Amino acid sequence: MKRLIVMVLTALLTLTASAQSKVYLTRQITPEALLKIYKALGVKARGRVAVKMSTGEGSNPNYLKPELVKDLIYEVDGTIVECNTAYGGDPNDVRNNSENHWRVIDRHGFTRYFSVDIMDEYDEIRIPVRDHTHLNYDIVGGHLANYDFLIALNHFKGHPMGGYGGALKNLSIGCASRNGKAYIHSAGKMNKLDERKLWTREFIGDQDGFLESMAAAAQAVHNYFERENGVIYISVMNNMSVDCDCVDHPAPVKLNDYGILASADPVALDQACVDIVNNLEVTAESDPTDLLKRIDKQHGTHTIDWAEKIGLGSKKYKIINIDK
């Protein structure tokens, strides 16, 4: 009998371990480390490769720099993809239309190294969502259909509305057209952006509904590429302001840089990044307090919880340190 119990417990532990998603980690933040962690994933980017990342608001200094990402993008022969933003401001700094957006992309040095594609420059498409709690579809940049494989290259940091920005936000809001951004922010109430209603209650909607809509839209993009050649996620934990790269003048960075994480599971990846920040000690040089307060105030981890609930991934993960 005791032997049977041991066998059952062993089987359950094995099953639990197998349910854990692998999250790879390097404490180095260099072009070489970024390429190394991509290779550690063991998933080769194939076909026409889109690299979804933020090229940063005009006067924001915290975005991932071209010099950091270039080795990876050259390795996969990728194209950086972006979509226009849903807010206005100084035409020299915001990216709310393609003319302004190209100006900022060029100023930040991306066109010096790479092919760049503003996916909603000319059109948009609707792709299916599995979770219909708020959304009937996801509205993404039309050029998304031109790619076979997606690398979500995320900058982990805070975000004024989402609490934090990571893989799930980059996949959802990041790939959404301007109309798609309004649809997600309003939790399915506005499928066409009305400039007069920006940041009104109708546009912002219910906070948890917005977070749940982000999770649903992220799953839509993930599933879209799963049907093609695949999708992987890499998150860089540096320049971690409480504000996103979409904020023109972000709050000062109070956290030391941490490293790069990567996974095939965006839920596990975001959970791992949040857990890392939660476990950081407050020191004279580094203080996670403001970022944790921002995440808590905006109920940010609800996005992760909902993404797991709808089957996008698992919050259970195993860290694999590739520096060892």
Residue 12: per-residue pLDDT: 42
Look at residue 13 and tell me whether its pLDDT is greater than 50.
no
Q: Which of 156, 147, 87 lies closest to 115 in space, CA to CA?
A: 147
Residue 153: per-residue pLDDT: 98
Residue 2: per-residue pLDDT: 45
249-300 per-position pLDDT tens digit? 899 999 999 999 999 999 999 999 999 999 999 999 999 999 999 999 999 9
Within a domain: residue 115?
yes
CA distance 202 to 89: 20
* Proportion of the chain above pLDDT 90, given as a percent: 82
Query: If you average pLDDT over every residue of the chain, what do you get?
Result: 92
CA distance 79 to 104: 17
The tokens 């609490």 sit on which residue?
163
Look at residue 320 and tell me whether its pLDDT is greater than 90.
yes
Within a domain: residue 9?
no
Residue 311: per-residue pLDDT: 98
Within a domain: residue 12?
no
Q: How sure is the predictor about 4, in pLDDT bands with cuts at 50, 70 and 90? A: very low
Lowest mean pLDDT, pick from 1-10, 49-58, 171-180, 258-267? 1-10
Within a domain: residue 310?
yes
CATH number at residue 26: 3.40.50.11440
178-220 per-position pLDDT tens digit? 999 999 999 999 999 887 787 777 778 799 999 999 999 999 9
Q: How sure is the predictor about 108, in pLDDT bands with cuts at 50, 70 and 90? A: very high
pTM of the model: 0.92
Look at residue 17 and tell me whether its pLDDT is greater than 70.
no
Q: Which of 189, 257, 266, 173 lies closest to 226 in space, CA to CA?
A: 266
Count structural domains, the chain: 1
Q: Which domain holds residue 179?
A: 21-321
For residue 162 the two structure tokens come to 């989402």
